[in-house]
Chains A and B, each alone.
Chain A
């Protein structure tokens, strides 16, 4: 295919499990653009204008195919009244849990989107980004899944205790989170996001066994995703996916963010025709890659998952670490241009589908 597509066309075609002009790629940079702008991460997120400027500069420099509207996952905790801890060189984190004991769940009320300045800021950034890129570059927004928000709301250990031992309070928390998640996802779609990343690491078999997932995260995802008025992709944030890929496909999601711990060829075989793969460059190792190593990693991923479409090259975690040098991202971008053009005739069996 010789005619160059827009990023939007390229991504849509990949999602349809067809081969576009080249493999689409996504470098999810939430706080990373603050580096380029020479401002602190706290300042970067203080104004939607900063985020828009950062994302546009990032797009222009690395020519990737999707814009991330994520500020930081913990922004949802901020909306619930939780504490946020800013770092100089990493993503803002949720501080001390705002659910201090399970019974607090009985008194919990979800935040209203319009009354939460932090969420309104995100919506404003999406509107401004959409005004800049139109349909040429899809904007992905993030909604933390109802099942995966509690580690930030109450801590991991307390959440496991709740999940295994306090089913009534667990169900109540899920119900509150579901309503918030749907409202938040739909607000971001209305603002101009093309897709919602349903951020659901707790559903990964790395975190809960499949038998628990089928009774919890799976049911919650089916209910929640069916109420989100736009396409969704599920991200397991470095968690494994292979044992639940068929289940994930039944939740209504279109995309799966995969782990660097899994073989991409195996994931591809299991996803073919059902789910588009997003992944799985190792974002932790990336910080010390040479240009040659970056190119080799890109080439290997494309060879394993590129044939037949249904593949968007990205990192495995959903966030480029602050410590990754710009040169590495440039090498990744160049390697996609070099090796990602369809047809992938350098890949053995590339037209085998």
Chain B
């Protein structure tokens, strides 16, 4: 086990134990790392991937996933002075809840992306037409859509159509329960990708940002 691997494992364990002190000690070492993204990629990302896999396999609960992402985000914000948090170069991105009122998935994904150096606009809860307008006006290239209800998942098809009508080249990334229970649904509604976990969302966004850029 390398030093980074050991730190990553310790970080995962500390997050699951909600041990803010140890999380802070581990993240403080990022300051000693030569490259902040090297630390992120080799310590934070693997820890989050392990938790994502655990969530997917049913060994980690949603409450642990949420609390971990919250602690990670809060600790990093406290460690890095305002405005100095590292940012990866990427296309403009936004995240939204389409139609329904369930905000937790958006919050976890948003947190994971920010911890990984992505910046994104949070549109909150939106309906299809107003969302399409905002995406076009803001020049959003990657849109993350979180849903819990099946009717909301099916509305992504309308969103895709509306964006196409407006000649908007935006990539749509979807996530949420209906897509987890029906593995074909994301293609059916015209999404470009589907993430089952927050770390999958990070991987997808990284790929799409490269493609788009």
Binding site for B on A (CB under 8 A): 85, 87, 89-91, 93-96, 155-157, 160, 163-164, 205-209, 212, 238, 240, 242-243, 260-261, 282-285, 287-288, 321-323
Asked if B46 is at the interface (CB within 8 A of a chain A CB), the reply is no
Stretch at the interface among B84-92, B102-110, B137-145, B202-210: B102-110
The secondary-structure label for the interface of chain B is helix
Asked if B18 is at the interface (CB within 8 A of a chain A CB), the reply is yes
B67 touches A160 (CB 8 A): yes
A285 touches B67 (CB 8 A): no
The residues of B that contact A87 with a CB separation of less than 8 Å are: 149, 151
Could you list 19 A-B pairs, sorted by A, with CB under 8 Å? A90-B149, A93-B149, A96-B101, A155-B103, A155-B104, A156-B62, A157-B103, A160-B67, A205-B58, A208-B61, A208-B62, A208-B63, A212-B63, A238-B181, A261-B58, A288-B184, A288-B188, A322-B151, A323-B154
Residue in B61, B62, B64, B101 whose CB lies within 8 Å of A93: B101
What separation, in Å, do the CA atoms of A147 and B161 have in the docked complex?
A: 40
A94, closest chain B residue (CB) = B101
Asked if B185 is at the interface (CB within 8 A of a chain A CB), the reply is yes
The residues of A that contact B180 with a CB separation of less than 8 Å are: 261
What separation, in Å, do the CA atoms of A313 and B190 have in the docked complex?
A: 33
Q: Shortest distance in angstroms between A54's beta carbon and chain B's nearest beta carbon? A: 19
A164 touches B63 (CB 8 A): yes
A285 touches B182 (CB 8 A): yes
Asked if B177 is at the interface (CB within 8 A of a chain A CB), the reply is yes
Residue in A155, A205, A208, A284 whose CB lies within 8 Å of B185: A284
Q: Shortest distance in angstroms between B114's beta carbon and chain A's nearest beta carbon? A: 15
B12-64 contacts to A, CB under 8 A, are 18, 58, 60-64
The residues of B that contact A208 with a CB separation of less than 8 Å are: 61-63
A284 touches B101 (CB 8 A): no
Given A160-B67, A240-B58, verify A85-B178 contact (CB < 8 Å): no
The residues of B that contact A209 with a CB separation of less than 8 Å are: 60-61, 63-64
Q: Shortest distance in angstroms between A101's beta carbon and chain B's nearest beta carbon? A: 16
B185 touches A206 (CB 8 A): no
What separation, in Å, do the CA atoms of A321 and B185 have in the docked complex?
A: 15
The residues of A that contact B178 with a CB separation of less than 8 Å are: 284
Q: Shortest distance in angstroms between B117's beta carbon and chain A's nearest beta carbon? A: 23
Taking A260-B181, A321-B150 as known contacts, 8 extra A-B pairs with beta carbons closer than 8 A to each other, sorted by chain A number, are A89-B151, A156-B62, A160-B67, A163-B63, A164-B67, A205-B61, A207-B61, A285-B181
For B, the interface residue count at a CB cutoff of 8 angstroms equals 28
Asked if B73 is at the interface (CB within 8 A of a chain A CB), the reply is no
Given A90-B151, A164-B18, A209-B61, verify A156-B177 contact (CB < 8 Å): no
B181 touches A282 (CB 8 A): yes
The residues of B that contact A288 with a CB separation of less than 8 Å are: 182, 184, 188
The residues of A that contact B60 with a CB separation of less than 8 Å are: 209
B150 touches A323 (CB 8 A): yes
Asked if B200 is at the interface (CB within 8 A of a chain A CB), the reply is no
Given A156-B102, A207-B62, A208-B63, verify A90-B107 contact (CB < 8 Å): no
The residues of B that contact A163 with a CB separation of less than 8 Å are: 63
Asked if B192 is at the interface (CB within 8 A of a chain A CB), the reply is no
Q: Shortest distance in angstroms between B55's beta carbon and chain A's nearest beta carbon? A: 9
The CB with the most chain A CB atoms within 10 A, among B104, B107, B178, B181, is that of B181
What separation, in Å, do the CA atoms of A321 and B178 have in the docked complex?
A: 11
The residues of A that contact B123 with a CB separation of less than 8 Å are: none
B104, closest chain A residue (CB) = A156
Given A95-B101, A284-B181, verify A160-B63 contact (CB < 8 Å): yes
The residues of A that contact B149 with a CB separation of less than 8 Å are: 87, 90-91, 93
A316, closest chain B residue (CB) = B181
Q: Shortest distance in angstroms between B148's beta carbon and chain A's nearest beta carbon? A: 9
Asked if B66 is at the interface (CB within 8 A of a chain A CB), the reply is yes
The residues of A that contact B177 with a CB separation of less than 8 Å are: 238, 284
Contact with A along B97-130 (1 / 0, CB 8 A): 0001111100100000000000000000000000
What separation, in Å, do the CA atoms of A284 and B181 have in the docked complex?
A: 6
B103 touches A156 (CB 8 A): yes
What separation, in Å, do the CA atoms of A96 and B103 have in the docked complex?
A: 11
What separation, in Å, do the CA atoms of A289 and B149 have in the docked complex?
A: 19
Q: Shortest distance in angstroms between B101's beta carbon and chain A's nearest beta carbon? A: 6
What separation, in Å, do the CA atoms of A289 and B60 have in the docked complex?
A: 31
Q: Shortest distance in angstroms between B41's beta carbon and chain A's nearest beta carbon? A: 27
What separation, in Å, do the CA atoms of A206 and B58 have in the docked complex?
A: 6
Q: Shortest distance in angstroms between B152's beta carbon and chain A's nearest beta carbon? A: 8
Given A87-B151, A89-B151, verify A157-B104 contact (CB < 8 Å): yes
